[in-house]
Amino acid sequence: RILLPLHGADDEDPWGMVERLRREHERKMAEEREKLLQTHERLGLSAEGGSLEERARRLQEDAEREKREIMDRIMAMEEEERVRREEAEKARREEEERREKERRIQEEKLKLLQEEEERERKEEEAREIERDRARDRAERRKRAKAHEKEEEERQIAAEKQRDSRLEAARAART
């Protein structure tokens, strides 16, 4: 990351910072001109002398060069901020996509688990129904056998009763 040494930089107002730097530079230039004028006066040189004008021209060029450098730094900062925002947005989108994919995977797993549980539940219900039917069949067979046995016992008892009546009737005849 490029750190720009802008004294008194205000992130909210970079153009105001440029203006402050320009005014400060102009003030320094004015001080330099004044010093040069005083020096020239002491030396007895004319204010129209080429050296003073040359110095002023150089100061003006320096000011313009510094202004361009400041503008270049500001543009570099803006570009860096734009790139940082784009990278952050890209990372955010990738994270959202990853989360969405993970959510879909979890939903699919949950769906499969629910289907498996439903299948197992239905199988268990079918087994329970089959056990109930087997119990019912066993009870019906047991009741049928008990009924058969009772019927046989009734027939045996009826036969014994008939036999004993016949026997009693024979005994009464003799």
Per DSSP, the residues of 53-86 read HHHHHHHHHHHHHHHHHHHHHHHHHHHHHHHHHH
Average pLDDT, the chain: 85
Q: What is the mean pLDDT of residues 133-155?
A: 94
Mean pLDDT of 150-161: 92
Q: What is the dihedral of CA 113, 114, 120, 122, to 10 degrees?
A: -160
Residue 6 makes CB contacts below 8 A (sequence gap 6+) with: 17, 21, 70, 73
pLDDT digits (tens, 9 = 90+) for 92-111: 999 999 999 999 999 999 99
Q: Which of 45-54, 72-81, 120-129 has the lowest mean pLDDT?
A: 45-54
Quick one: pLDDT at residue 57? 84
Q: Can you say whether residue 3 is alpha, beta or left, with left for phi > 0 and alpha for psi between -120 and 50 degrees?
A: beta
pLDDT at 118 over 80: yes
DSSP letter at 143 equals H
Q: Which residues contact 51 (CB under 8 A, 6 or more apart)?
A: 40, 45
pLDDT, residue 33, reads 85
Nearest to 55 by CA among 82, 28, 16: 28
What confidence score (pLDDT) does residue 166 get? 87
pLDDT band at 51 (very low <50, low <70, confident <90, very high): low
Instruction: Give the pLDDT confidence score for residue 114 in this predicted structure.
Output: 97
What Å distances lie between residue 45 and 36, 37, 39, 42, CA to CA?
A: 10, 9, 8, 8
SS3 state at 8? coil
Give the start-to-end residue ranges of the domains of the chain. 14-173
